Amino acid sequence: MESIVIGADHGGYLLKEKVKAYLVKKGYTVTDVGTTSEGSVDYPDFAARVVRAIQKKRAELGVLICGTGIGMAITANKFKGIRAAVVHDAYTAAMSRRHNNANVITFGGRVVGVGVAFSILDAWLGNHFEGGRHTRRLNKIEAIEEKANEFVII
Ligand code: RB5
């Protein structure tokens, strides 16, 4: 079973607690990097903690929850080797794994309820990358990542 690192801001805190308990009950090793209350914090700080844990191989997969999932995904995708997908239903969660090999999923504590969040996790963790033509596409994303800083827009 994969090891999972989880983080949230104040908009995702309550759902994070429920998601964490659900994953632990399912037998996953879960590292919680905060936040630890509903007090206002900045989501990039927690996205950075989660993706750094993955980059340093302290965990294989990450879950990030803010109000909408959007700010967490924007932040996480700034980091090399991170493929973060905003998912708000089981179908997109499954496809994010099968086609995009998403190593991080993000969703919104103000968007999805607990039941939908659990179905997202089941779909994401229960599916696997299909490889094949999708590997070619991910390689192109990686090449863009490598070259992005070389582009000069006039
Ligand atoms: C915080 O109010 C909110 O902006 C944040 O949780 C998230 O939704 C940002 O994308």
Q: What is the mean pLDDT of residues 53-79?
A: 98
pLDDT of 152? 65
Q: Per-residue confidence at 61, pLDDT binned at 50, 70, 90?
A: very high
pLDDT of 91? 98
The answer to whether residues 147 and 126 touch, using CB atoms and an 8 Å cutoff, is no
pLDDT of 146? 87
Tens digit of each residue's pLDDT (9 = 90 or more) over 99-138: 999 999 999 999 999 999 999 999 999 999 999 999 999 9
The answer to whether residues 83 and 103 touch, using CB atoms and an 8 Å cutoff, is yes
Q: How many domains does the chain have?
A: 1
CATH of the domain at 121: 3.40.1400.10
Residue whose C-alpha is closest to residue 6's, from 83, 19, 129, 90 = 19
Domain that residue 12 falls in: 3-150
Sheet with 84-86, edge to edge strand ranges: 29-32, 3-8, 61-66, 104-108, 84-86
If one residue of 68, 77, 88, 112 were mutated to test the ligand 1 pocket, choosing by the most ligand atoms within 8 A of its CB, it would be 68
| Residue given tokens 């239903």 in the structure block | 89
Phi, psi at 106, each rounded to 5°: -130, 150
Residues having CB within 6 Å of any atom of ligand 1: 9, 11, 43, 66-68, 70-71
Helix (H) or strand (E) holding 52: helix 43-55
- Nearest atom within ligand 1 for CA of residue 10: 6
pLDDT above 90 as % of the chain: 94
Amino acid found at 69: G
Cα(21)–Cα(108) distance, integer angstroms? 17
